[in-house]
Amino acid sequence: MAASLAGLVACLLALHDAVPNAVGRLGSLLETFLPWLGLAIPVLLGVSVLRRSLVALLALALPVVAWLGLFGGALRPGDDSPYDLTTVTHNVSDENRDPAGTARALMEVEPDLVALVELTPPALPDYAQTLASTYPHHAVRGTVGLWSKLPLADVRPLEIRPAGVGADWNRGLRATARTSRGDIAVYVAHLPSLRLGLPEGFGSARRDESAVLLGAAVAAEHLEEVILLGDLNGTVDDRGLGPVTAQLGTAESDFAFSWPATLPVARIDQILARSATVTRVWALPATGSDHLPIAARIRF
């Protein structure tokens, strides 16, 4: 029995993209929590030892190899090689009671770019005032904003609104950051939330539709170097974000789980780049939000 379960876990890890999404989007659900399948390994190890099953012990090598193949990079120390930019993204929560304190906490890692999503009109002045002295350049569109040490130009809304959503839903922006080495396209996005329940199962249809629109915008971007920051409501393993993650990459140096803040189980807040290397990504301490902030270093 333990050997069979070890084989099943190995198959789910190695062949997760073969799990269909047609019913309840089970494939995306599995991929969202894929790293946690590794918890089955010590349990199966204990069962195998108790039963003194050599076959089961040998079978455990399969999920171990599969898990390390997917997530072994996250066990390596963070990359401390030279980098050009430090970035932070944070879903600050529309129920955050301490916007100014949250802004100050994000500034502690001295980022060059700060992306905030789930901004509300009452809280926006507190964020803007706190960040203003260090980040003289900023742009806000709808409920997303970008604060920058670098000059910003060509700021415009990012059309990622799925069908059937009201016109007041504005959760994306695109800007050009001017650097000494050239212009960089910076995208800030907050994709639709997920719903888990019956009968729809893993309700990611709107998120997936928005990801297609975001992927199309990135594909059409005329600047070669692109940075994407925001709450994508999905992990980089989730096939629903495929239109985006097929074009942009991130670091594997840390799981950097960001949600929920009290007991993080998944990184759904992302910092991705094209024609640049995200050398390190990590989670910052909790703020007044239900998400943890995510920081990253980027090398061009």
If you write DSSP's letter for every residue of 218-269 in order, what string do you get? HHH-SSS-EEEEEE-SS-TT-GGGHHHHTT-B---S-----BSTTS--B--E
Q: What is the rounded distance in angstroms from the CA atom of residue 272 to the CA atom of residue 115? A: 13
pLDDT band at 23; cut points 50, 70, 90: confident
Average pLDDT (75-88) is 86
The residue count for the chain: 300
Residue 73, pLDDT above cutoff 90: no
What's the DSSP call for residue 17? G
Of 233, 211, 148, the closest CA to residue 185 belongs to 148
- At residue 81, the pLDDT reads 83
Domain ranges of the chain: 2-75, 85-299
Q: What is the rounded distance in angstroms from the CA atom of residue 244 to the CA atom of residue 224? A: 15
SS3 for 117? strand
- pLDDT tens per residue across span 152-206: 999 999 999 999 999 899 999 999 999 998 999 999 999 999 877 655 667 899 9
pLDDT band at 51; cut points 50, 70, 90: confident
Residue 79, pLDDT above cutoff 80: no
Question: 139 Cβ partners below 8 Å, 6+ apart?
Answer: 145, 146, 152, 155, 173, 175
Q: What is the phi/psi pair of residue 205, to 5°?
A: -60, -50
pLDDT band at 22; cut points 50, 70, 90: confident
In CATH, the number for domain 85-299 is: 3.60.10.10
Residue 218, pLDDT above cutoff 90: yes
- At residue 43, the pLDDT reads 94
- At residue 199, the pLDDT reads 58
Rounded to the nearest integer, the mean pLDDT of the chain is 94
Average pLDDT (62-87) is 89
Which of 25-39, 47-61, 160-174, 202-216 is predicted least confidently?
47-61
SS3 for 100? helix
Which of 150-164, 231-245, 248-262 is predicted least confidently?
248-262
Task: Show the CA angle centred on residue 284, arms to residues 279 and 258, nearest 5°.
Answer: 85
Q: What is the phi/psi pair of residue 162, to 5°?
A: -70, 160
Q: What is the phi/psi pair of residue 190, to 5°?
A: -130, 100
54: enclosing H helix or E strand: helix 54-59
- At residue 253, the pLDDT reads 74
Average pLDDT (86-91) is 98
pLDDT band at 53; cut points 50, 70, 90: confident
- At residue 74, the pLDDT reads 85
Q: What is the rounded distance in angstroms from the CA atom of residue 211 to the CA atom of residue 234? A: 10
Residue 127, pLDDT above cutoff 70: yes
Task: Say which residue the tokens 């789930």 belong to.
Answer: 118
User: Quick one: CA torsion of 126, 131, 135, 138, rounded to 10 degrees?
Assistant: -20
Q: What is the rounded distance in angstroms from the CA atom of residue 4 to the CA atom of residue 198? A: 30
- At residue 9, the pLDDT reads 94
Q: What is the rounded distance in angstroms from the CA atom of residue 238 to the CA atom of residue 30? A: 8
One-letter amino acid of 220: A
Question: 86 Cβ partners below 8 Å, 6+ apart?
Answer: 109, 110, 111, 112, 113, 295, 296, 297, 298
- pLDDT tens per residue across span 277-290: 999 999 999 999 99
Average pLDDT (5-32) is 92
